[in-house]
Structure 1
Amino acid sequence: MSTKYRATTEDVAYFVTLTTVRWIDIFTRPRQKYLLVNGLSYCQSQKGLEIYAYCIMSSHVHILCKACEGHKLSDIIRDFKKYTSKKIVQNILDYPESRREWMLELFQRACMHLKRNQRYKVWQNGYHAEIAYSNWFIKQKINYIHNNPVVEKIVARPEDYLFSSARNYAELENELEVEVLFIE
């Protein structure tokens, strides 16, 4: 497997994108978004994940982050995806969800080619990670992450989107604490 877009270098920051299978718009409900926020928060407190910027969109998540304290980012992402997959499916089963049948069917179909016994697959294989090699790159990615909901016409201003670190950077009430970077 290629390591071109994988986190292979330790103790450096990466711009990471995690995408749902078939780009399914799972995260349109706050309940589903909070599952991701809780998972990221757990990774921060228990797995050494340091987050500088993030945004939860309907079918993907962008994170500017790094693994600290001898942890591997690839392990953190693997565990995050495994944990949130189970929680997302359970949430779909437990709460009223008009899209339940077709989403679960697509999650099941995504498992058909797998050798291991797995009932549902929520996330695409792997993740897209780019090393944050300069202050220019970091600033550009933070702007990209924060402007994602604006580009998609969800909000008019980045800081208006509740599930983004743009609120942290604007010093507003937020859902997830991040390490705010001040880059010139």
Structure 2
Amino acid sequence: MISFFLKEGLKTSNVAQYQFWRHDNKPIELWSNKVIWQKINYVHQNPVEAGLVFRAEDYRYSSAIDYCDEKGLLDHIVVFRMFDL
């Protein structure tokens, strides 16, 4: 993997050696509860859209089940807390 990161780093002039992160991501500011829920739902619906499950909370590796007041695979999952309005 190191050789892959080195190869990717050589393609970009602003990288000194290794490139691990993509530079073309589009960060989105989570500035309201509506936007936060929109992004959480988007992530949770990916396995549904891919046809892997019928409900987001049925996907084994999703935190969607934690949002349904049930226990997922991992301990200590912090369900995103909304801003106080």
State the TM-score, normalized to the length of structure 2: 0.64
- Return the offset for 1:160: 1.7
Equivalent pair of 2:6/2:17 in contact (CA under 8 Å): no
Larger Rg: 2
- Return the offset for 1:138: 1.8
Determine which structure has the larger strand proportion and give its number. Answer: 1
- Return the offset for 1:111: 2.0
Deviations 1:1-39 (A, max 9, x none): xxxxxxxxxxxxxxxxxxxxxxxxxxxxxxxxxxxxxxx
Q: Which position in structure 2 is the counterpart of 1:154?
A: 52
Change in 2 beyond 3 A, CA 1:162/1:123: farther
Unaligned runs of 5+ in 1: 1-88, 91-103
Q: Which amino acid aligns with 1:148?
A: N
Equivalent pair of 2:10/2:17 in contact (CA under 8 Å): no
Equivalent pair of 2:63/2:72 in contact (CA under 8 Å): no
- For residues 43 and 80 of structure 2, what CA distance do their matches in structure 1 show? 14
- Map residues 116-155 of structure 1 onto 2, 5 A cutoff: 116-118=16-18, 121-125=19-23, 127-155=25-53
Q: How many residues align?
A: 79
- For residues 22 and 31 of structure 2, what CA distance do their matches in structure 1 show? 25
- Return the offset for 1:180: 4.2
Q: Which position in structure 2 is the counterpart of 1:166?
A: 64
Equivalent pair of 2:44/2:56 in contact (CA under 8 Å): yes
Unaligned runs of 5+ in 2: none
State the TM-score, normalized to the length of structure 1: 0.35
- For residues 36 and 17 of structure 2, what CA distance do their matches in structure 1 show? 39
Q: Report the RMSD for the aligned CA atoms in angstroms.
A: 2.9
- Return the offset for 1:150: 0.8
Change in 2 beyond 3 A, CA 1:165/1:111: same
- For residues 55 and 80 of structure 2, what CA distance do their matches in structure 1 show? 18
Equivalent pair of 2:58/2:65 in contact (CA under 8 Å): yes
Higher relative contact order (CA 8 A, sep 6+): 1
- For residues 17 and 80 of structure 2, what CA distance do their matches in structure 1 show? 41
- For residues 54 and 79 of structure 2, what CA distance do their matches in structure 1 show? 24
